[in-house]
Amino acid sequence: MIKKVLILGGSHAQIPVILEAKKQNLYVITCDYLPDNPGHKLADEYYNISTTDVDAVLALAEKVKPDFIIAYASDPAAPVAAYVSDQLSLPGNTFHAVQVLSEKDQFRNFLSKNGFTVPRAIAIAGDDFHEELFSEMQFPLIVKPTDSSGSKGVSKIDNFGQFLEAAKLAMAQSRKKRIIVEEFIDTNGEQIHGDGYVVDGQLVFSYLGDHHYNAAVNPFVPYSTTWPSKVGDKYIDAVNAEVQRVLSMLDFQNGGINIEARIHKGKVYLMEIGPRNGGNYVPQVLAYLTGFNMVKALVDNLLGKKVETDNLQRGYGAYYVVHSPVDGILRNINYQPALQAYIKETHQYVDKGGRISSFQGSNAAIAVIILQFASSAEMDSIMCDIHRYVEVELE
C-alpha cells in the first residue's frame, strides 16, 4: 500500500522535499493558506489550511490519515507537525523537544538551566515591561519575537529609550505576543551557521559555515552563508559537541537541524538550533559540497531506510540571496559572466514586473543562487564582493 505524507507548506522552500517524497513513491498531500504556491502543483492533494493552525492541521490529518507529517525548512510549521504527530502517534520528534527548540524564550531558559553559556535574557508577554527589568543587563540589547522566523522583527538597542519602538516591532511579528530581550553577544569572526542531521539521537552529519549580512540594509538578515567556516576545527568541534548535548538532553531523535552559534572570548554561544533544515536551499548547497543529501535522508529515515554518511567531502560553496535595499518593481536580474561558472542552481521567486520589498526579512528575497568553488581563495575572491556580480534592476 502506498504511504501518505502530509507536508506543511508548498512554497519554493518545500519543493525539494515534495519532489523527493514523490520520487520515493509517497502520496503527497500539502497544505497552507496560499493556493498559488508552486509546491501544491506537484502534490497529489492540496488543502487551503494554514500550517500554523494547530486544530485545523490536526483535523486535516485525522481526515486524510497520513503515515508521516513533515515540516521542512519552516520554523512556524515545525511545532505543529510535532504536536499533530504526537496526537496521532505518528513518527517524529516529541512536541516538547521541538517546542523548546522553536521558541526562543524556552530555548534560552533551557540552556540556562542546564549549564550552557548564554547571554542574560528576559521574556516579556504583552506590554508588561518597565525599565527596572533591564537593571542587571548590559546594553546593547537584542529585541526579537520568540516565535518568528527569517529575522523578522529583530532590533538592536543601545538604551532603554529605544525599547518601546523595538518591542512594538517584535510584538507585531510574534504569533503568541511574546518577545525576548537579551544581551548582544559579539562574535570572533562571522556568526557560525549550517545544517546538521540526526539519526537515533546522534548528530551524524554537520557542516558549518559563516553567515554574512548587508549592514547597509539590515544587519540581522543574512544574505549568504559560505562554507566551510573560517573559525577553525577547534571551535567547530566545540559547537557540534554543545549541539549534541542539547539533542541528548531533549531526546531529539531524528531529522535535520539548522544551527546558529557564536564564539565570544573563546566560549560557544548557541544562538539557535532550529528543529528543521535551513532555508535558502542550505541542504541543496551542502549536497553539492559534501555529497550528503539531507532531503533524501529525511525521507529515507521516515521509511526506515539506512541513512548513509560514508565518504563525504568538505567542499567550498555558498548560497546568495538576491535582494534589494529598496522597494520597487523588478525589471531584471543581471548575473555577471564572471559569476556564471560558479552557479549550480538559480531559484527565482519574483518574476519580471513583480513587486519587491526592501530586504528587511528573508521573505523579501528576490532569488537564491547556489554557488560552488574549487578553493577557499576562489570563493573569497567572489564572495567578498558578491554584490558587484549581481545587479537588480528596478523600474
Note whether residue 101 is domain-resident.
no
pLDDT of residue 135: 83
Residues 243, 52: Cα–Cα separation, whole Å: 26
Note whether residue 280 is domain-resident.
yes
Q: Are residues 68 and 204 in the same domain?
A: no
Phi-psi region of 199 (alpha: psi -120 to 50; beta: other; left: phi over 0): beta
Domain count of the chain? 3
What 8-state DSSP symbol labels residue 158? S
Q: Are residues 270 and 382 in the same domain?
A: yes
Dihedral, CA atoms, 235, 241, 246, 249, nearest 10 degrees?
-160
Note whether residue 111 is domain-resident.
no
Do the strands 45-48 and 68-70 form a parallel or antiparallel pair, or are they unpaired? Answer: unpaired
Domain boundary (43, 76, 92) is at 92
Q: Are residues 207 and 170 in the same domain?
A: no
Which amino acid belongs to residue 379? M
Domain boundary (44, 76, 92) is at 92
Q: Are residues 173 and 267 in the same domain?
A: no
Query: How many Cβ atoms from other residues are within 10 Å of residue 219's Cβ?
Result: 12
Q: What is the CATH number of the domain that holds 22?
A: 3.40.50.20
Note whether residue 309 is domain-resident.
yes
What pTM, to 2 d.p., does this model score?
0.96
pLDDT of residue 331: 98
Q: Are residues 139 and 83 in the same domain?
A: no
Domain boundary (183, 215, 233) is at 183
Q: Are residues 179 and 217 in the same domain?
A: no
Note whether residue 105 is domain-resident.
no
Q: Please give the order of strands across the beta sheet that includes 192-199.
A: 267-274, 255-264, 192-199, 202-214, 218-227, 316-322, 367-373, 343-348
Q: Are residues 234 and 86 in the same domain?
A: no
Buried b (16+ CB within 10 A) or exposed e, 228-251: bbebeeebbebbbebbbebbeebe
Q: Which residue has the cell 522597494?
A: 327
pLDDT of residue 149: 76
Q: Are residues 339 and 251 in the same domain?
A: yes
Q: What are phi and psi for residue 194, nearest 5 degrees? A: 170, -175
Tens digit of pLDDT for each residue in 112-140? 999 999 999 999 987 777 778 888 899 99
The boundaries of the domain holding residue 212 are 192-394
Q: What is the CATH number of the domain that holds 382?
A: 3.30.470.20
Question: What is the three-class DSSP state of 390?
Answer: strand
Note whether residue 104 is domain-resident.
no
Tens of pLDDT along the chain (395 residues)?
899 999 999 999 999 999 999 999 999 999 999 999 999 999 999 999 999 999 999 999 999 999 999 999 999 999 999 999 999 999 999 999 999 999 999 999 999 999 999 999 999 987 777 778 888 899 999 999 999 877 889 999 999 899 999 999 999 999 889 999 999 999 888 999 999 999 999 999 999 999 999 988 999 999 999 999 999 999 999 999 999 999 999 999 999 999 999 999 999 999 999 999 999 999 999 999 999 999 999 999 999 999 999 999 999 999 999 999 999 999 999 999 999 999 999 999 999 999 999 999 899 999 999 999 999 999 999 999 999 999 999 99
Q: What are phi and psi for residue 61, nearest 5 degrees? A: -65, -40
Tens digit of pLDDT for each residue in 301-336? 999 999 999 999 999 999 999 999 999 999 999 999
pLDDT of residue 235: 98
pLDDT of residue 132: 81
Q: Are residues 337 and 266 in the same domain?
A: yes
Note whether residue 64 is domain-resident.
yes
Q: What are phi and psi for residue 153, nearest 5 degrees? A: 80, 15
DSSP codes joined into one string, 59-81:
HHHHHH--SEEE--S-TTHHHHH
Q: Are residues 313 and 282 in the same domain?
A: yes
Q: Are residues 310 and 219 in the same domain?
A: yes
